[in-house]
């Protein structure tokens, strides 16, 4: 499936399975099989849910390579760095590993001191990028949002193919939809807004819960315009999303994946910690309810 077509569906921002501190490539293969069976259209290793800040550059390359080797769908690799040169280097590593595109964020820690700063940052990266690029708006992690006018300016370039918006701000998302060309892909990354965003014109979703319940996200995407899509969002996706939000999505997704016997361990790397017993029960209950709704 072509990259652009695949992104107009459900993309999974994959967890990175660990075993005693090391990347568990066998579990990664099992995860990819689970995602294939669940109907995802593309995968996204080394993103936020993939704990990219806890991975070395070499580990990120290995994860992308292993994903490309096993996946039968397009691969978007995380390349979230704080400098232009480091971001280009991360994109080059992803390209060499076989990724079809890379996702980049606004610089964090040192944020732009004027609106034009982020436009110049993104354009400098695009000038050196070896594969297509997706902007990734996640202000709760970067300390700043990518302003709609910045997105609109960058979207004029053919090598910038879309944006993942994980802000949870529907009005922001609608502003980006209004201000960007039709061919620029607007992808909803906040799971609780998936169906509402699709009904308002989103092209697809990049959703952490697709690790755990890919079949539910797939059906919600396909049925977004009718009552079944609304039911899945209201009664399955949103309650599970709410149960996961207080625990960070890497630990929460791994809790759900171990509950479904997809991966053997919920191990995460510092500074993250595994979900506690109360959280595990809450996520397990919400997961069970979501699966019941999906089977109705």
Q: Residue 1 has what pLDDT?
A: 61
Closest C-alpha to 102, from 118, 89, 111, 120: 89
Please check whether residue 273 lies inside any domain of the structure: no
Please check whether residue 237 lies inside any domain of the structure: no
- What total number of domains does the chain contain? 1
Q: What is the pTM of this model?
A: 0.97
Residue with tokens 């890497």: 250
Closest C-alpha to 237, from 195, 198, 273: 195
* pLDDT at position 202 over 70: yes
Please check whether residue 23 lies inside any domain of the structure: yes
pLDDT-derived band at 18 (thresholds 50, 70, 90) equals very high
pLDDT-derived band at 226 (thresholds 50, 70, 90) equals very high
Please check whether residue 155 lies inside any domain of the structure: yes
Please check whether residue 277 lies inside any domain of the structure: no
The pLDDT tens digits for 79-134 are 999 999 999 999 999 999 999 999 999 999 989 888 799 999 999 999 999 999 99
The pLDDT tens digits for 23-60 are 999 999 999 999 999 999 999 999 999 999 999 999 99
Domain range enclosing 186: 3-224
From the list 136, 172, 190, 254, the catalytic residue is 136
Active site residue 136: yes
Query: Where residue 216 sits, what CATH number does that domain have?
Result: 3.20.20.70
From the list 108, 164, 254, 281, the catalytic residue is 164
Please check whether residue 191 lies inside any domain of the structure: yes
Please check whether residue 252 lies inside any domain of the structure: no
Length of the chain, please? 296
């Amino acid at each position: 499936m072509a990259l652009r077509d695949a992104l107009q569906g459900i993309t999974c921002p994959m967890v990175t399975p660990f075993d005693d501190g090391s990347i568990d490539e066998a579990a990664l293969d099992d995860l990819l099989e689970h995602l294939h069976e669940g109907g995802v259209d593309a995968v996204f290793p080394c993103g936020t849910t993939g704990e990219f800040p806890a991975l070395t550059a070499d580990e990120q390359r290995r994860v992308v390579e292993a994903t490309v080797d096993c996946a039968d769908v397009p691969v978007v690799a995380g390349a979230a760095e704080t400098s232009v040169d480091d971001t280009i280097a991360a994109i080059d590593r992803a390209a060499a590993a076989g990724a079809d595109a890379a996702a980049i964020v606004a610089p964090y820690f040192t944020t732009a001191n004027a609106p034009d700063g982020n436009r110049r940052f993104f354009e400098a990266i695009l000038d050196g990028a070896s594969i297509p690029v997706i902007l990734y708006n996640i202000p709760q992690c970067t300390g700043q949002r990518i302003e709609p006018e910045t997105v609109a300016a960058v979207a004029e370039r053919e090598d910038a193919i879309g944006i993942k918006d994980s802000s949870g701000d529907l009005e922001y998302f609608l502003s980006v939809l209004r201000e960007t060309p039709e061919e620029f892909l607007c992808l909803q990354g906040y799971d609780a807004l998936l169906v509402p965003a699709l009904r308002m014109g989103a092209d697809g979703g990049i959703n952490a819960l697709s690790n755990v319940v890919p079949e539910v996200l797939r059906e919600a995407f396909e049925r977004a315009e009718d009552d079944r899509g609304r039911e899945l969002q209201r009664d399955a996706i949103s309650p599970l999303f709410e149960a996961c939000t207080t625990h960070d999505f890497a630990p929460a997704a791994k809790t759900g994946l171990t509950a479904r016997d997809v991966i053997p361990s919920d191990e995460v790397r510092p500074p993250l910690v595994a979900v506690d017993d109360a959280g595990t029960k809450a996520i397990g209950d919400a997961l069970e309810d979501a699966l019941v709704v999906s089977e109705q």
